[in-house]
Amino acid sequence: MTLAPPAPVHTSTIVVPRTRRRSPRSVRKAALGVLGIVGFLGCWQLVAMAGIVSPTQLPSAVDTFSQLAKMVTDLEFWRNVGRTMTAWLIGLAIAAVLGIALGALVGMIPFLRRATHSMVEFLRPIPSVGLIPLAILAYGIQIQAALVIIVYACFWQVFVQVLYGVADIDTVARDTARSFGLTRSAQLRSLVLPTALPYIFTGLRLAAAVALILAVTAEMTIGNPGLGRTIVQAYNVGNITTVYAIVLVTGVLGLIVNLGFRAIERRALAWHQSVRGEEIL
């Protein structure tokens, strides 16, 4: 007597889509951030109302935001925002390209890293604002003068981070790539960039904040059109409320830049354990 083979059992796999939920920690962090801003504005208003500081030195938060509401309806205000952000973007882009390219080149060649170490340690601490007189002599009151100090300061932020990233490459992986005869370009694409990418994004995020600071500083000192020059002009005529309103605008721009770069970093490094660890928490 032969037994018939068992009938095949058909199983179906149900794929449940994974929904990304914000962790309680991130929600709590955002709530505390909003609470901190509200508390700061409340304290600012109370100090101004109590007369602890002269209104000529510290206008109230209500007056400042009222002035800001008037400014945002003026087309010239948005032109100045565009001028400042144009200098920021161009300077950051030039510094990023130079920093990544030269950082990868110097980091991959030990001889170049040893030969340039002393020069890097000498040039990096030089304050970029110290180059303002030279930039004015070279380019006058033009955007190129602002770009000189922006690129100089931001370049080191990116360049040093790329050097750290290249130095963090696993020696076994590096030796394996060499033993398989990978070219420099292949090593750069398959080994260097994946390892250095977190460092590159850190350098870009730091450079983005520095670029915005120096874009406004250059407009205040050199006189290029933009938010910085508007601050100086408002201060010279005694319009302190406008000064505080534009300072708030620069702070908001800095916050937007930082949040934007963090969002790009999380998306580009979703595979990295640092970002995956943040999602788990």
Report the 10 Å Cβ neighbour count for 264: 13
Question: What is the pLDDT confidence band of residue 83, given thresholds at 50, 70 and 90?
Answer: very high
- CATH 1.10.3720.10 correct for 60-280: yes
pLDDT digits (tens, 9 = 90+) for 28-58: 777 887 888 888 888 888 888 887 887 788 8
- Mean pLDDT over each residue of the chain, to the nearest integer: 83
- 109-124 b/e (C-beta count within 10 Å ≥ 16 → b): eeeebeeeeeeeeeee
Residue 273: per-residue pLDDT: 64
pLDDT of residue 173: 72
Distance CA 43, CA 61 (A): 9
Residue bearing the bigger pLDDT, 190 or 131: 131
Q: How far is CA 230 from CA 52, 73, 136, 155, 279, in A?
A: 27, 16, 19, 27, 42
Residue 76 has pLDDT above 80, yes or no: yes
CA distance 245 to 69: 9
- Does residue 130 register a pLDDT over 60? yes
Q: State residue 15's pLDDT score.
A: 42
Phi, psi of 3 (to 5 degrees): -90, 135
Q: What pLDDT does 22 receive? A: 57
Give me the residue spans of the domains in the chain.
Answer: 60-280
> pLDDT tens across 201-255, in order?
999 999 999 999 999 999 999 888 999 999 999 999 989 999 999 999 999 999 9
Asked whether the CA dihedral 241, 247, 253, 258 is positive or negative, the reply is negative
